[in-house]
Structure 1
Amino acid sequence: MPKAYVFTRYGGPEAEALVEQDRPSPGAGQVLVAVRAAGVNPVDWKQRTGYRRPGAAARELPAVFGNEVAGVVEETGPDVTGFAVGDEVFGNPVTGGYADYALLPTTVTAHKPAALSFTDAATLPVAAATAYDAIHQLGLPSGATVLITGAGGGAGVAAAQIAHVLGLRVVGVASDGKKDFVESLGAVHVPSGPGLAERVAAAAPDGVDGVLDLVGGEVLEAAATLLADRTKLITGADRETVARLGGAGVERARTAAVLDKVARLVVDGRLRPFVTGTFPLDRAAEALRTVEDGHARGKIVIEVAR
């Protein structure tokens, strides 16, 4: 039977399990995909603890981990147009992506370019698409300076590169151990930790024009002090704090059109997914711990053998 990596209740890693499950059937507007690769993101383990986006319904347990996949269409549901069995696709699953099979709604599913690997495609629907939406939401002009906190993680790496494509100067906050990695993205590295605001001010003496926060909490608080215009303060990590500070959360488009755009950036060589670790499905726990422990650089991907 097909396998999936799930959490059976809300809590810590002890709630996780690799299980067998029936192959799902696509409903209206959905495609069934044989998963080839699934991206691993912080939101995955956060959902296991009980987190869910504002307005999102509680998930039925056991719930399959994973919010971005790439694979091959095995079956199409009613009212599906534009997709056929055998198509190579990537997108956001409704049933979780750490699995042999996943259901994807066509509204957030895109055709994978032939020049894009399944592994790289699986990194785009969450991290890269969030970064794309966030940088465009800031709306900064070419030549402006953007501060990105959490610049060494999946979304931060993509955001730094997309900002560079748009002609922005990037200051990236990350641990000392990620200094060379952040600088390889064309960003000015600023170490995280106490005194952050002072170090950013020294690295950007003319000030910063916008902030994309991907950490939240005290880091977001410190970054906010560097902005005169709080409408240029957005976060993908801490909506409660950013609202109090006068900023906003990242507004996700969640469309196939955005997926097409980020895929084109990769194919054109302007966006590197930076996959730094891959794991088979039966080692999904290790993949998730790598991200949950906060030590991952770039993206971690689960590859499903076929």
Structure 2
Amino acid sequence: MPKAYVFTRYGGPETEALVDVDRPRPGPGEVLVAVRAAGVNPVDWKQRTGYRRPGETGERVFPSVLGNEVAGVVEETGPDVTGFAPGDEVFGTAVAGGYAEYALLAAGVTAPKPAALTFADAATLPVAAATAYDGVHQLDLPAGATLLVTGAGGGVGVAAVQIARAAGLRVVGVASDGKKELVESLGAVHVSSGPGWAERARRAAPDGVDGVYDLVGGEVLREAAVLVDDRGKLITAGAPAEEAERLGGARVARARDAAVLRAVAGLVVRGDLDPHVTRTYPLDRAGEALREVEAGHARGKIVIEIGAAE
């Protein structure tokens, strides 16, 4: 039977396990893929604790497969699905988990994988890079403007910095000292996170910032809000919408469609976006991959690589 890495109830790492599962069958609007790589994101462990994305409804069925973004090879398509056929290399958003040998993808949020793109790189795009892309385009800052990115050393932050730089923006990236070299290598001005970071950001951008892309939330979001005059240019993917709205800002509006996936894949192929896959793990070490992201120590992206399913 195929293997999958799951959580058996809401809670901590003790709820996780590698188990045998039935091979999924695609329903209407779904594509079944043999997974070659799965991206690891903070939202994965947050969902294990009971977090729900905005608009998400329904009760979770346990055991529940972890993971949200995958790249792989089409095995089967569901009713009414067009544009995909067995053998196609694709990447997209998992319907019910992606840390598995087989996964179902939503056809509308699945795109062909360019030949120049590795499975590992493609698996970083549906959540992290697409969130970064949506946010930068939502801000719609003109070339030459200054964008402040908090959490600039994580998966979404690394992508947001690069996408903003490709759009001609000056970027100030807030991240830990341990991620200074990474942030600066992306073309951003690094500002150390931690107490006093906002004052350091003011010194790094003496003419002010034109937009804020927050990936942390909480007190960091509240401090960041003070740095931008136009609160309509304050967005977050690190806090609930109501928290941002109280400050005059907004939550990142996710497009969640294949057009965005094709766009970010094009950025990678053109060399404007490096997914920065810094470490990979096999499926039987998925727990270690998730711990690295959950602890906040990951620099760039962590990916689970999966061999050909039998």
Task: Report TM bin, short chain.
Answer: over 0.9
1:185-226 alpha-carbon deviations (Å, 9 max, x no partner): 000000001112111000000000000000111111111110
| 1:194-233 → structure 2 map (5 Å cutoff) | 194-233=195-234
Structure 2 runs not aligned, ≥5 long = none
Which letter does structure 1 place at the counterpart of 2:223?
A
Which letter does structure 2 place at the counterpart of 1:281?
L
Provide the secondary structure at the position in 1 that maps to 2:10. Answer: coil
What is residue 52 of structure 2 aligned with on the other side? Answer: 52
Q: 2:4 & 2:192 partners in 1: Cα distance?
A: 38
Which letter does structure 2 place at the counterpart of 1:163?
A
Q: 1:23 & 1:131 partners in 2: Cα distance?
A: 32
Provide the secondary structure at the position in 1 that maps to 2:23. Answer: coil
1:114-162 alpha-carbon deviations (Å, 9 max, x no partner): 1100000000000000000000000100000000000000000000000
Q: 1:59 & 1:252 partners in 2: Cα distance?
A: 22
2:73 paired with 1:72: yes
What is residue 88 of structure 2 aligned with on the other side? Answer: 87
The ranges of structure 1 where at least 4 consecutive aligned residues each deviate by more than 6 angstroms after the TM superposition are none
Q: 2:194 & 2:12 partners in 1: Cα distance?
A: 26
Which letter does structure 1 place at the counterpart of 2:224?
A
Q: 2:272 aligns with which of 249, 260, 270?
A: 270
Q: 1:302 aligns with which of 301, 304, 307?
A: 304
Provide the secondary structure at the position in 1 that maps to 2:268. Answer: helix
Q: 2:61 & 2:193 partners in 1: Cα distance?
A: 38
Which letter does structure 2 place at the counterpart of 1:14?
E
Q: Give the TM-score normalised by the residue count of structure 2.
A: 0.98
- When the two structures are aligned, how many residues end up with a matched partner? 306
Q: 2:112 & 2:7 partners in 1: Cα distance?
A: 29
Deviation at 1:228, TM superposition (A): 1.2
What is residue 105 of structure 2 aligned with on the other side? Answer: 104
| 1:172-191 → structure 2 map (5 Å cutoff) | 172-191=173-192
What is residue 164 of structure 2 aligned with on the other side? Answer: 163
Deviation at 1:241, TM superposition (A): 2.0
Q: 1:197 & 1:55 partners in 2: Cα distance?
A: 32
Provide the secondary structure at the position in 2 that maps to 1:108. Answer: strand
What is residue 287 of structure 2 aligned with on the other side? Answer: 285
Structure 1 runs not aligned, ≥5 long = none
Which letter does structure 2 place at the counterpart of 1:291?
V
Which letter does structure 2 place at the counterpart of 1:22?
D
Provide the secondary structure at the position in 2 that maps to 1:302. Answer: strand
Q: 1:86 & 1:78 partners in 2: Cα distance?
A: 17
Provide the secondary structure at the position in 1 that maps to 2:108. Answer: helix
| Comparing 278-287 and 190-199, the one that deviates more | 190-199
What is residue 259 of structure 1 aligned with on the other side? Answer: 261
Q: 1:73 & 1:236 partners in 2: Cα distance?
A: 31
Deviation at 1:54, TM superposition (A): 2.1
Q: 1:229 & 1:267 partners in 2: Cα distance?
A: 34
